Amino acid sequence: MIRHEEPPHRRIDLGPGEALRLLGTVSLGRIVFTRQALPTVRPVNHVLDDGDIVIRTHEGAALTAHAGQESGKGVVVAYEADAIDPDTHLGWSVVVTGYARLVTDPVDLARVRTLLAPWAPYEDLDHAVRIRPHLVTGVLLTDGVGSGTAATTA
């Protein structure tokens, strides 16, 4: 059996600024929140708005209810997005942990609706949730050959 040696991959930790920049180059991610005391993950589309991650949601969504009930900072969530090539396994991944609050200001909500079109087949995505990043981490997965080649844009 012939074994093919693949070039070693390198993992480079990214600073918060670069991680958020990369997150802004893609439109889809996954939000993680607590539902009935258990972690729940949902794929959503997002937009970066003044350093915050904003997603659209609907009246019956569990996240809408949780984010709307919280006073003060909001409800703790995690948000993850990535661009990793399925064949080479090169690219990047970003995780943001922060506080999510329902967007309640009518002017801000109207502006968010112009920035972010729903990607799911919901016509009633009339709410929005704003995630204020508290902890931002990211990794760049490179080829390790010295060129630092990785898929860094989407």
Banded model confidence at residue 63, pLDDT cuts 50, 70, 90: confident
* Token digits of residue 57: 């949601």
Domain ranges for the chain: 15-142
pLDDT at 84: 95
pLDDT tens string 112-149: 888 988 776 656 777 889 999 999 999 999 987 654 44
* Mean predicted lDDT score pLDDT of the chain: 84
Q: Is the predicted pLDDT of residue 154 greater than 60, yes or no?
A: no
Q: Burial of 71 by CB count in 10 Å (0-12 exposed, 13-18 middle, 19+ buried)?
A: exposed
Q: What separation in angstroms does the CA of 63 have from each of 31, 47, 97, 130, 138?
A: 9, 17, 15, 11, 24
Please tell me the least confidently modeled range out of 11-20, 32-41, 58-67, 137-146. Answer: 58-67
Secondary structure (DSSP) of 13-49: EEPHHHHHHHHTT-SEEEEEEEETTEEEEEEEE-EEE
pLDDT > 90: percent of the chain = 51
136 closest CA partner among 15, 22, 35: 15
Q: Is the predicted pLDDT of residue 82 greater than 60, yes or no?
A: yes
As its CATH architecture, domain 15-142 has Roll (2.30)
Single-letter code of the amino acid located at 91 = G
Please tell me the least confidently modeled range out of 9-18, 75-84, 92-101, 122-131. Answer: 122-131
pLDDT at 153: 46
> Which ranges constitute the DSSP H helices of 44-145?
62-69, 106-115
Of 51 and 9, the structure prediction assigns the larger pLDDT to: 51
